[in-house]
Amino acid sequence: MPELAEVDYFRRRWNPGVGRTVRAVHLNRRARIGRGVDVEALADALVGRKLLGSQAAAKQMAFRFAGGAWLGVHLGMSGRLECGDAEREPTKHDHFVLEMTDGKRLVFVDPRQFGRIQFWPGPGAPPWWEKIPPAILSDGFTVGVVSAFLRRRARTSIKAVLLMQERFPGIGNWMADEVLWRAGFHPQAKAGDFGPAAVRKLHRTLREVCADAMRVIAKDWSDPPATWLFNHRWADGGRCPRAKQPLRREEVGGRTTCWSPARQRLGAERR
DNA sequence: ATTCTTGTTGCATC
DNA sequence: AGATGCAACAAGAA
């Protein structure tokens, strides 16, 4: 489920734990979310430590603890973060719980377990955090960087390219479709066919969609306005809110893709 | 019963 | 070497 803005929304679900100290760590050791992690070291390091704060970047979250330890969380496809009190009924897929000194429980729930946790004892930021590329809303995300990346992935559909986290951190299936719909590019257009004007438009629209998502969804999980593709893309039979024509849904780049044939035509990218 | 899923990775192939 | 495409991971919903 979670892309850029939803990730930040879930990060803040754990805010009630900030300033509190970890009393116990409960980890379902059979759950895949802990794969590759030394869970004993993680539990040892976090118990007795105060949660200082958190940050989100791309689809990743980092929770920082006193003493310099970092807990990383990636929500995968179906993960979510919850905060409950001591009376909270555990659910079937509570795989990781931080029990805090005031009785609050910070819970990572993930039925499909494509998500994962990571750990770094510190000091300093972990390698898996440092290597997250510049955010789309940052100064480091330039037209030149986009242009070079599109050239390198020349034979791949633009839809598949926008899903590559190494260059478009935080973009997921619905955001990629939203960008292409707003900018008027066909999802099957080849990345290498994008001309200078088209690259600039793509860059501008990426920033616009990220900013809109952070403003609307990250704030309180409001439903996006009906003027976005978002509300019309999920089921067969939807109509384009701009062209008022039927939307099309088909697999592109291995993912279900929704676009408006009336306003996303092949060839527009060659400008 | 069958098919679908808002993500990532590892592997085979080009 | 680098680019490309696809299966696999797992569980719930429609």
Scan residues 102-131 of chain A and list those with Cβ within 7 Å of strand B: 114
Per-residue pLDDT of chain A (271 residues), as tens digits, is 689 999 999 999 999 999 999 999 999 888 899 988 888 889 999 999 999 999 999 999 999 999 999 999 999 999 999 999 999 999 999 999 999 999 999 999 999 999 999 999 988 999 999 999 999 999 999 999 999 999 999 999 999 999 999 999 999 999 999 999 999 999 999 999 999 999 999 999 999 999 999 999 888 888 899 999 999 998 888 999 999 999 999 999 999 999 999 999 999 999 9
For the domain with range A143-270, which CATH number is right: 1.10.150.120, 3.40.1360.10, 3.40.50.970, 1.10.8.50?
1.10.8.50
Where in A70-212 does DSSP place strands (E)?
A: 70-74, 80-84, 94-100, 105-109, 116-120
Task: Quote the CA–CA distance of A201 and A147 in Å, as a whole number.
Answer: 11
Instruction: Report pTM.
Output: 0.95
Q: Is A3 a catalytic residue?
A: yes
Whole-number distance in Å between A190 CA and C11 C1': 34
Q: Are A73 and A63 in contact (CB under 8 A)?
A: yes
Sequence-distant (≥ 6) Cβ neighbours of residue A90 within 8 angstroms: none
Q: Is A250 a catalytic residue?
A: no
Chain C positions with a protein C-beta closer than 7 Å: 2-7, 9-12
Task: Quote the CA–CA distance of A172 and A87 in Å, as a whole number.
Answer: 35
Domain A4-130 architecture: Alpha-Beta Barrel (3.20)
Where in A2-50 does DSSP place strands (E)?
A: 22-27
Whole-number distance in Å between A12 CA and C13 C1': 27
**In degrees rounded to 5, what are phi and psi of residue A212?**
-65, -45
Task: Quote the CA–CA distance of A271 and A162 in Å, as a whole number.
Answer: 19
**Structural domain boundaries in chain A:** 4-130, 143-270
